[in-house]
Structure 1
Amino acid sequence: MSLKQQLTHHLLNVPGWHTCRKILVIESDDWGSVRMPSKEVYDEFLRRGIPVDKDPYCRFDNLATAEDLEALFDVLTSVKDKNGRYAVLTPNAVVANPIFDKIRESGFTEYHFEPFTETLKRYGSSHEGVFEMWKQGVDAGIFHPQFHGREHLNVKKWLRNLREDVGFTRQAFDLGTFGLTQDVDPNLRRNYMGAFNSALPEDMAYYDNLLREGLDLFEQLFGYRSESFIATTYTWHPNLEKSLKRYGVKYLQGMVVQKIPLDDDTTFTTKKTNYCGRKSAEGLTYVTRNCYYEPSHYKEDWVADCLNRIAIAFFWNKPVVISMHRLNVIGSLDKDNRTTNLTSLGTMLHEAVKRWPDVEFMSSDELGRIIES
């Protein structure tokens, strides 16, 4: 790591809330959302000349299987903190996915969605019993979902481009996904993953309904209200926070940097002051990421980098909040992806406990409550 990078990591940990406790949180986005449906679909994309191998999400990401969860839970329960508590993952979940058949029947004019638990049933034997495993992880205190959105999708833009047959959008739809990026489809100005990429008044009203439905469905599925939220692609307009607060959200996950739409998915501005513990204009508390474990994205010594960032955070008496997207623990498309990354994750967690014996594992909403208190 260069001297400039070291200095940047130190400076990012100076502002905001401080604590003498060695708190470590692991946040993982995209749970519940469809991405690449199967290895067979992946191979079909390549057969059609659509370069899905250029994007790590298309290469590795899928709804987690029972085998994925079992391997992840084995790692989390292999290490304990000073209180005898296992490592905790905060899987940030979208609770719904598109119903592709009904959308096609409408001529791509109407959007229909289903709970992700119904999507799991469509994915066959490899996903049988998966939601039961989610609940087992919740009961064991190692898997504590929080809200990422109703779906990981810019619905309006997606339907419009389906009607206009833009790029590979219709082919991806026929194969059961929407998650192509510009690396795969150069016809896209931006991909469809940003669910809140508009500031138009009519879209803000739509988002209010979406958040109400999504948070209510989250509570129906998990039996508790999500107190924290992270916007898809770290992009949202501050007016969205009025709805979040209205429906029970208290804490905003994310990075120091927030991308703010100024119109309808065309022009954006950037805010760079969402430091941990600070309040938004609506009084929501930022729980900010300062550490990253994302080995599926590109090759790097992620264990060393993560431990270095942990050391810097603890030096400044800051909680450690690690970003680790779902694709890093998925093995149904590439088993080595899951095996290698989870082995390294276990190494990192064991080394963290060894170096800082007073470390405490917890979920994002728990950290938010500690900051507030």
Structure 2
Amino acid sequence: MSIRSIRKNISRNLVNFSGWRTERKIVVIESDDWGSIRMPSFETYQNLLRQGIRVDKCPYNRNDSLASEDDLSALFDVLSRFNDKNGNHPVITANTVVANPDFEKIRQSNYMDYHYEPFTETLKKIPVCYNALELWKQGMDYNIFHPQFHGREHVNILLWMKLLQSNTKIFRIAFDYGLWGLGKEIVDTGKINIQSAYDTLIKEDILFQKDILKEGLILFEQVFGFKSKSFIANNYIWDDKLNKTLSEGGVSILQGMKYQISPIYRNKSRRLIKHKTGEFNTLNQVYLVRNCHFEPSVFPETDSVISCMNDINNAFIWHKPAIISSHRLNFIGSIIESNRTRNLKFLDQLLQKIIIKWPNVEFKTSVELGNLIESQRLKNLLKSEIFNSV
């Protein structure tokens, strides 16, 4: 066994060692970045390469884009082939940013004022996405696609506007092509990633972030007709002070990795806050911690099916739900079609293996899992109160 394999095995066990347990074989697929532009089109991708901007170096810039009608249809086709022991299909918890920058209005302000548009308006501007929202709704109706809140937009507004106002060449060029999210492999923006909406060097920016979250949660409800019960921060970076704003907006479930990353502020290093699935904070929000990964576009050299199966197996050994991280870019083919074709084949193989190995598997959304943990906690509290009153 290689040193890398040993480290991976240790990591699997550490993330599953503590937290909420269940005898049930529960699988949740959490997928981030839905609604965000990232790379607008294959033509834009080629034009940026011609200008010397190496967007081919970043898997997100190379593969990720708004999901086209073909992307959604192909994904839904795979999901609808399978059923768990209760007859439910695998379901994607589609963590969605509900807005994108309004490039034209920002340009008209000479880069002095930030403006945004609902992602539903962005979809209408792209021919292959024009009717995509109808497919979102179909996926929701068939219980294979369940949107949740990932933020208002997936850009650090204050950093981006500063870069535009200072006429930073690479970001001005990207702006002219309708994008902002250049990966760290392409350009170094310092301590803060351009994609990290809730990172900051200044603590006072928290007030600005709270307003963004409030507006985003309202827009989410306007678009989908229901409140988002869960949230996951862009790049897993957010301050605990935002939790109250999220709670007031209806969020009682916090998705994430085993570490919450605090904003850097003016510190030399970031504070990492460890969480475990089933942990509750003082606002009674429950944490869900991802313990499995299916990211073939990010790690093309890894056998993503076998690796994810090993993750799931370890979760079940520890009596934990298997919470799979699988970002949107894995299912997108509008930039490079083979990316979608290859990865959906892998997804099909993964789902087949899951059902064969664990025929009593249950596919759930993040909200369903969070609700289950919350209800079990309530029952335990009631039992404790009854016992103490006797």
Q: TM-score range by the shorter chain?
A: over 0.9
2:305 maps to what in 1? 303
C-alpha distance after superposition, 1:68-124 (max 9, x if no partner)? 000000111111000011110001000000110110111111111110000001112
Of residues 342, 345, 358, the one that matches 2:344 is 342
Of residues 157, 177, 180, the one that matches 1:178 is 180
Instruction: Point out where structure 2 has 5 or more consecutive residues left out of the alignment.
Output: 376-390
Partner Cα distance (2:183, 2:167) in 1 = 16
Q: Is the 8 A contact 1:257 1:270 kept in 2?
A: no
Partner Cα distance (1:337, 1:345) in 2 = 12
Partner Cα distance (1:291, 1:169) in 2 = 34
The farther-off stretch of 187-196 and 139-148 is: 187-196
1:99 maps to what in 2? 102
Partner Cα distance (1:168, 1:310) in 2 = 41
Partner Cα distance (1:259, 1:204) in 2 = 15
Partner Cα distance (1:93, 1:213) in 2 = 14
1:14 maps to what in 2? 17
Partner Cα distance (1:145, 1:171) in 2 = 32
1:66 maps to what in 2? 69
Q: TM-score, normalised by structure 1?
A: 0.97
Partner Cα distance (2:361, 2:236) in 1 = 28
Partner Cα distance (2:269, 2:279) in 1 = 22
1:287 maps to what in 2? 288
Q: TM-score, normalised by structure 2?
A: 0.92
CA distance 1:94–1:328, change in 2 (3 Å): same
Partner Cα distance (2:304, 2:138) in 1 = 29
Q: Does 1:333 align with 2:345?
A: no
Q: Is the 8 A contact 1:166 1:187 kept in 2?
A: no
Partner Cα distance (1:151, 1:8) in 2 = 31
The SS at the match of 1:239 is helix
Q: Is the 8 A contact 2:124 2:131 kept in 1?
A: no
One-letter amino acid of the structure 2 residue matched with residue 147 of structure 1: F
2:368 maps to what in 1? 366
One-letter amino acid of the structure 1 residue matched with residue 368 of structure 2: E
Q: Is the 8 A contact 2:262 2:273 kept in 1?
A: no
1:243 maps to what in 2? 245
Superposed displacement of residue 199, structure 1: 6.6
Q: Is the 8 A contact 1:253 1:286 kept in 2?
A: yes
One-letter amino acid of the structure 2 residue matched with residue 210 of structure 1: I
Q: Does 1:211 align with 2:213?
A: yes
C-alpha distance after superposition, 1:137-195 (max 9, x if no partner)? 00111100000000001001100110102241111001100010221124655431000
Q: Is the 8 A contact 1:167 1:185 kept in 2?
A: no
Q: Does 1:3 align with 2:25?
A: no
CA distance 1:149–1:44, change in 2 (3 Å): same
CA distance 1:186–1:211, change in 2 (3 Å): closer
Q: Is the 8 A contact 2:192 2:200 kept in 1?
A: no
Q: Is the 8 A contact 1:94 1:149 kept in 2?
A: yes
Partner Cα distance (2:339, 2:14) in 1 = 33
The SS at the match of 1:35 is coil
Moved over 4 A (4+): none
1:150 maps to what in 2? 152
Of residues 99, 117, 120, the one that matches 2:120 is 117
Q: Does 1:87 align with 2:70?
A: no
C-alpha distance after superposition, 1:297-326 (max 9, x if no partner)? 122101000001100000111000000000
CA distance 1:275–1:54, change in 2 (3 Å): same
One-letter amino acid of the structure 1 residue matched with residue 53 of structure 2: I
Partner Cα distance (2:189, 2:198) in 1 = 21
The SS at the match of 1:145 is strand
Q: Is the 8 A contact 1:13 1:313 kept in 2?
A: yes
2:166 maps to what in 1? 164
1:202 maps to what in 2? 204
Larger radius of gyration: 2
1:46 maps to what in 2? 49
Partner Cα distance (2:216, 2:46) in 1 = 33
- Within-5 A mapping of 1:246-285: 246-263=248-265, 267-285=268-286
CA distance 1:370–1:305, change in 2 (3 Å): same
Aligned residue pairs, count:
371
The SS at the match of 2:89 is coil
